[in-house]
Structure 1
Amino acid sequence: MKRLVIAVGCILLASPALAQSVGEKTGINSALGVVPTTADFVKEVAISDMFELESSKLAEQKGNAQEKSFAQQMVTDHTKTSNDLKGMVNSGKVKAELPMAVDSSHQSKLDKLKDQSGKDFSSNFDSYQVSAHKDAVSLFERYAKGGDNSELKDWAGKTLPALKHHLDMAQELGKAPSVGQSSK
């Protein structure tokens, strides 16, 4: 019984340290408010940008008018953030590796979108955009507050308002009557 109590105690004491090593995509770090490492932040931002670019290119082809307009804005904005991030990494100001492709969970979402059209495409695209931008806002907020690379931390803070605007726009997808109007 003593061993069990000691083991549980050790696990509880180690939980904050373990949370920092849990992959960012799990959502655990977000729920706990754990600041991502620079390497995790760069990886997640790069994957997020790649997903936004690829899914938005599909929406430009398959989406309704509202989704096509949103997608054009995402391609413009996420091309910029992707180029900004690559510039900081390539200049040596940020020490991290850029992934070359999206991870398996993002790839499966892209594959699903590629196979869909009409309402099915719209339903999934709209849902993915809200989820992706909620995750991005959380990631950027946490890094902007406590990241360990000052240039990247500053960039995260400056990028945050655009991501919050993207989230607002994504939440309006599928609400055609209120396009261009605030429902608040």
Structure 2
Amino acid sequence: MKALFLLTICTALSALLAFSNRFAHEKQFITKSPDQQFVMEAAEGGMLEVKLGELASQKGVSNEVKSFGKTMVADHTKVNDELKALAQKKQITIPTAIGAKKQQKYDSLAALNGEQFDMLYMNMMIASHEQTIGLFQTESNKGEDAELKKWADSKVPALKHHLEMAKKLFKASPGAAKH
């Protein structure tokens, strides 16, 4: 029953992520240049990583999840600060808080406890980093601003490292063995 519940949550989050990716992709052509859209999405995603990391360092059951959360806070705070400075230089206004969809993700995780919290957090980190790697690689390959392209490219190795760490923790978690 517990495994079915977690599978249902993971499936729902995957569908939500796919829908939000499609909406964000379509929206960029209406309102902003691809470079501006990248900065906006990267800024909001980075803020969510920090908030989720803070939550994991407080509510995580395993020491590994708590430690991973702290790493996400430290690494993404540094990257967020770099992005803020770069955006300011490029005269791009970035959001100061996460939007409603990302807040829903945060709220859904905050409502959980125990192994369910750890499992969903690590699952979210896998999905989030996969999405973020795609976002940064797209900017690196197709962006128009040379400085943003170079900056995005320089962050991909660390994002890939975070993804691998998240996958290892997810596979090692007690609930993962039940799937």
TM bracket (short chain): 0.7 to 0.9
Q: Percent identity?
A: 35
The Cα of 1:140 is off from its aligned counterpart by 0.5
Q: Tell me if 1:173 matches 2:159.
A: no
Superposition pairs of residues 33-52 of structure 1, within 5 angstroms: 37-52=34-49
Q: Which residue of 2 aligns with 1:145?
A: 141
Gaps of at least 5 residues in structure 2 are 1-18, 26-32, 174-179
Q: Deviations over 1:104-138 (max 9, x none)?
A: 22111111122111022112111110000000000
* Bigger Rg, structure 1 or 2: 1
Structure with higher helix content: 2
Letter in 1 for 2:45: S
User: Contact 2:123–2:170 at 8 Å: present in 1 too?
Assistant: no
Q: Deviations over 1:79-124 (max 9, x none)?
A: 111000011122x2x2322012112221111111221110221121
Q: Give every structure 1 segment of 4 or more consecutive aligned residues whose post-TM-superposition deviation is greater than 6 Å.
A: none
| Whole-angstrom distance in 2 between the partners of 1:62 and 1:28 | 30
The Cα of 1:28 is off from its aligned counterpart by 8.3
| Whole-angstrom distance in 2 between the partners of 1:61 and 1:113 | 12
Q: Which residue of 2 aligns with 1:134?
A: 130
User: Contact 1:39–1:95 at 8 Å: present in 2 too?
Assistant: no
Secondary structure of 1:100's aligned partner: coil
Q: Which residue of 2 aligns with 1:71?
A: 69
Aligned Cα root-mean-square deviation (Å) = 2.1
Q: Which residue of 2 aligns with 1:107?
A: 103
User: Contact 1:24–1:40 at 8 Å: present in 2 too?
Assistant: no
